[in-house]
A = this chain, B = another copy of it.
């Protein structure tokens, strides 16, 4: 397999920009600068794929090139299964990944079907072709740590030490997110290459040679109130308890090992080199052992909380796995959403990301300026956009992410479309988001944990979200199961719009980027949350 990179520039082979955009974003997901294991079609999250297999990938590309402006391609768990005639307001691609009927929504059944070649794990933006590298998670992580700082440390993390595990595709954003907030971060990963990769991309400052060295570097920086991130090789299930036992002065504790999939978390006593083979040949035994190890790590996290630290689950289901291993206090610390993010969701605020199909970083610089111009009073947004411009190295097609709410996203989208029309950027802009959004997900261990009305597990909302985006003019729409928390634990939807500068695209973008965040407002108002945005949305039973 030769390397895949999205075509750049304004010459294209598909029958229209929306189709070309889908093709480029699929390819961009597999760019070696973007994907974790492009040769296996894995984009991020250990197993999150962009297409089911190589024949499926090539068939999707071929179909996208041939697809007419009133046709729609159907993708079933990474495989193209049909092309149907629809109409020009309809999405060009409809995607459903990893979905299983409830009683069969288990890892063993999923793996059985995956091995039969009948499904794939789509994660969130992997199988829906809008992953933009670690910037996506960096921004969310930055927001989360900023919220921790605001809640407990007067607005910044100077003089605090954060402990976390897992420096992979998503977790690798943590050290930079902490230092951007002025704090010190100690990050543990079993795999040195993962740490090294983050050093190479300036997300991580140093790798220590031992745990002792790591601790002394970290404590020194903390004492000097310097922003610094330190990586150390080790198993979090061992390192976390050791640090707790040694009484190291840690202020904030979280984790982003790939605990959502027990076959991706290294159990204590297993060599990293033996992991893949062991997980493949004895999945049940491996699962039992990794869960027991996770329970050890979670027990230490609860210990840190008992000792006064700010502890939260960062959306990888580690509490759920620890509970399965029999650790009763696993859910003693909260998920990050109820702890920090929910008030934003109630305003339809969530991840708004875009990429420049030209491949030209100047196009993103232009859109950055447009966003600063559109929302002059939003200080945190301005801080992020400026810092991102300085510190974020693009991966694959140049891209940007920030959080915008109801009444904001449509303005930004329409502005981008106007910029394309006027030639202020050199090619169309793709606008999408993560599935971790205000109204697009049901995930009782993460986005919908501890809803006010107890509606955590109700999955009507993400399905309505996908239907609404399909009915509003999105270019591609997806419904996924599992995502970051694993099989049986979430259902979520994604949408992507293409700003190609046409009037039709402008209308579609205005509708989609109004209705998509509106779903967040509706969902949260229905659950009893206050929303300043509720007045702008038509809510029948609230009239």
Q: Are B72 and A468 in contact (CB under 8 A)?
A: yes
A455 contacts the other chain (Cβ, under 8 Å)?
A: yes
- CB 8 Å contact bits of A67-86 with B (1 = contact, 0 = none): 00000111011011111111
Q: Are B470 and A97 in contact (CB under 8 A)?
A: no
Say which residue of B84, B90, B100, B488 sits within 8 Å of A459 (CB atoms).
B100
A490 contacts the other chain (Cβ, under 8 Å)?
A: yes
Q: Are A85 and B540 in contact (CB under 8 A)?
A: no
Are A460 and B515 CB-contacts (below 8 A) given A468-B74, A539-B82, A540-B62?
no
Q: Are B59 and A541 in contact (CB under 8 A)?
A: yes
Say which residue of B56, B99, B488, B511 sits within 8 Å of A458 (CB atoms).
B99
What is the total number of copies of this protein in its complex?
2
User: Distance (Å) between the CB of A437 and the closest chain B CB?
Assistant: 16
Residues of chain B contacted by A470 (CB below 8 angstroms)? 467, 470-471
Task: List CB contacts (< 8 Å) of A500-528 with chain B.
Answer: 507, 511, 514-515, 518-519, 522-523, 526
Residues of chain B contacted by A379 (CB below 8 angstroms)? none
A376 contacts the other chain (Cβ, under 8 Å)?
A: no
Task: List CB contacts (< 8 Å) of A94-126 with chain B.
Answer: 94, 96-105, 109, 112-113, 116, 118-119
Q: Are A118 and B479 in contact (CB under 8 A)?
A: no
Which residue, A104, A481, A522, has most C-beta atoms of chain B within 10 A?
A: A104
Residues of chain B contacted by A460 (CB below 8 angstroms)? 76-77, 96-99, 119
Residues of chain B contacted by A97 (CB below 8 angstroms)? 460
A443 contacts the other chain (Cβ, under 8 Å)?
A: yes
Which residue, A99, A101, A453, has most C-beta atoms of chain B within 10 A?
A: A101
A457 contacts the other chain (Cβ, under 8 Å)?
A: yes
Q: Are B491 and A461 in contact (CB under 8 A)?
A: no
Residues of chain B contacted by A471 (CB below 8 angstroms)? 72, 86-87, 90-91, 94, 470-471
Residues of chain B contacted by A488 (CB below 8 angstroms)? 101-103
Bound CA span A477–B464, Å: 10
Are A59 and B105 CB-contacts (below 8 A) given A99-B491, A454-B116, A471-B72?
no
Q: Are B489 and A453 in contact (CB under 8 A)?
A: no
Residues of chain B contacted by A442 (CB below 8 angstroms)? 99, 101
Residues of chain B contacted by A86 (CB below 8 angstroms)? 468, 471-472, 511, 515
A117 nearest CB neighbor, chain B only: B453
- CB 8 Å contact bits of A180-206 with B (1 = contact, 0 = none): 000000000000000000000000000
User: Distance (Å) between the CB of A41 and the closest chain B CB?
Assistant: 16
Residues of chain B contacted by A55 (CB below 8 angstroms)? 541
Are A459 and B481 CB-contacts (below 8 A) given A79-B541, A99-B491, A541-B56?
yes
A529 contacts the other chain (Cβ, under 8 Å)?
A: no
Chain A binding surface, main DSSP class: mixed
Residues of chain B contacted by A490 (CB below 8 angstroms)? 101
User: Distance (Å) between the CB of A433 and the closest chain B CB?
Assistant: 17
User: Distance (Å) between the CB of A440 and the closest chain B CB?
Assistant: 13
Are A109 and B457 CB-contacts (below 8 A) given A99-B463, A467-B96?
yes
Bound CA span A463–B488, Å: 16
Say which residue of B83, B103, B454, B489 sits within 8 Å of A113 (CB atoms).
B454
A30 contacts the other chain (Cβ, under 8 Å)?
A: no
Q: Are B541 and A101 in contact (CB under 8 A)?
A: no
Bound CA span A542–B83, Å: 12
Bound CA span A518–B464, Å: 23
User: Distance (Å) between the CB of A19 and the closest chain B CB?
Assistant: 14
Bound CA span A84–B113, Å: 38
Q: Are A541 and B87 in contact (CB under 8 A)?
A: no
Say which residue of B112, B459, B514, B526 sits within 8 Å of A99 (CB atoms).
B459
Using CB atoms and an 8 Å cutoff, list the residues of chain A in contact with chain B.
55-56, 59-60, 62-63, 72-74, 76-77, 79-87, 89-91, 94, 96-105, 109, 112-113, 116, 118-119, 442-444, 453-461, 463-464, 466-468, 470-473, 477, 479, 481, 487-491, 507, 511, 514-515, 518-519, 522-523, 526, 537-541
14 contacts between A and B (CB under 8 A): A72-B471, A81-B522, A82-B537, A83-B540, A84-B468, A85-B514, A86-B472, A86-B511, A86-B515, A89-B90, A102-B489, A113-B458, A463-B463, A467-B467
> Considering the complex of A and B, which 6 residue pairs feature the smallest CB-CB distances, nearest first?
A102-B105, A104-B457, A96-B460, A102-B488, A90-B471, A99-B459
Given contacts A101-B442, A101-B457, 13 further A-B contacts (CB under 8 A): A73-B540, A77-B458, A77-B460, A79-B526, A82-B538, A82-B539, A84-B538, A85-B511, A96-B464, A104-B444, A104-B456, A118-B453, A463-B466
